[in-house]
Structures are given as structure tokens and as C-alpha cells.
Amino acid sequence: MLKEFKKFISRGNVMDLAVGVIIGGAFSSIVTSLVDNIITPLLGIILGGIDFSGLQFTVLSATVHYGVFIQNVVNFLLTAFCLFLIVKGLNKFEKALAKNKEKQEEDKKEEVKKEEIPTDVKLLTEIRDLLRKNEKAGE
């Protein structure tokens, strides 16, 4: 059983998942900071400082803080939108890198093709050029 557990833990998928969760947690703090410290205050200025978290009502002895829920939904939507923009930007960057790499590979292939001219073709080209040069000199 211990060997099976060791095999399960050392699988690539489990390690990839663990790394993804750790990176996701770190990235989550970046996105949360972006939303909380930059976007939300700017939206507060634009929207006139609207804060839903103070909205509430009381039923008998229970206080329902529905404004906190609304504020959390707004924060979620802002976070999701920021994450969307970040992923979209990264995808665009990756496409540009891939396109650049393809262009470099095509350029290398063209250079190789230019270098691979057979010797008989080279000799014929030289003869042709010499004949043209002699024709121009004789005129």
C-alpha cells in the first residue's frame, strides 16, 4: 500500500496539480491586490464612492447583510474581468512569440535553400554572367 501511495504521489499529474495550486494561490493574491488596491478605488471615484457593504435589513432579531453579498459579487466580477484581461494579454503575447519563432524558422529554411545551390548550376550561372559581361564589353 505504501508503494502504491508513493507511485500515486510521484505521478506527473499530481505534481503538476500541486504546482498549479501553489502558483494559483500566489497569482490569486496579485489579482486580488490589483482589484482591491487599484481598480476598486478608481471605480469608487468614478461611481461616487458607492459601497454596498452597508446595506442590510433586520428580520426579528437577525440582521441580513445583503450588501456584503452584493459587494462580494461586484468584487468577484472585477477580479474575473481583470483575470480575463491578463489571460487575454498573455495569449496575445504567446501568439506573437510563436509567430516570430515561425518566421525565424522560415528565414533559416530560406537561407539553407539559398546555400544548397548545386555546383553545376553555380558553374552555369558563372558562365552566363561571364558571357553577359563579354557581350557588354564588345558593344
Q: Give the pLDDT confidence of 106-135 residue by residue, as tens digits.
A: 888 877 776 777 788 888 888 999 999 888
pLDDT (0 to 100) of residue 25: 87
pTM: 0.51
pLDDT (0 to 100) of residue 91: 92
- For residue 51, the SS3 value is coil
**Other CB atoms within 10 A of residue 56 CB:** 11
Task: List Cα–Cα distances, 87 to 27, 49, 81, 84, 133, in angstroms.
Answer: 12, 29, 10, 5, 61
Q: What is the pLDDT of residues 28-42, one digit of tens each?
A: 888 888 878 888 787
Between CA 5 and CA 55 the distance in angstroms is: 51
**58 pLDDT more than 80:** yes
Tell me what the mean pLDDT of segment 70-94 comes to: 85
Provide the grid cell at 132: 553577359
Provide the grid cell at 118: 548545386
In the chain, how long is the greatest CA-to-CA distance? 114
What secondary structure letter does DSSP report for 54? G
What radius of gyration do the chain's Cα atoms show? 33
The domain ranges of the chain are 1-50, 53-139
Q: What is the pLDDT of residues 47-56, one digit of tens each?
A: 777 777 788 9
Helix (DSSP H) and strand (DSSP E) numbers for the chain: 5, 2
Range with top average pLDDT, 12-21, 65-74, 89-98, 112-121: 89-98
Between CA 81 and CA 92 the distance in angstroms is: 16
**96 pLDDT more than 90:** yes
Task: List Cα–Cα distances, 105 to 97, 102, 114, in angstroms.
Answer: 12, 5, 14
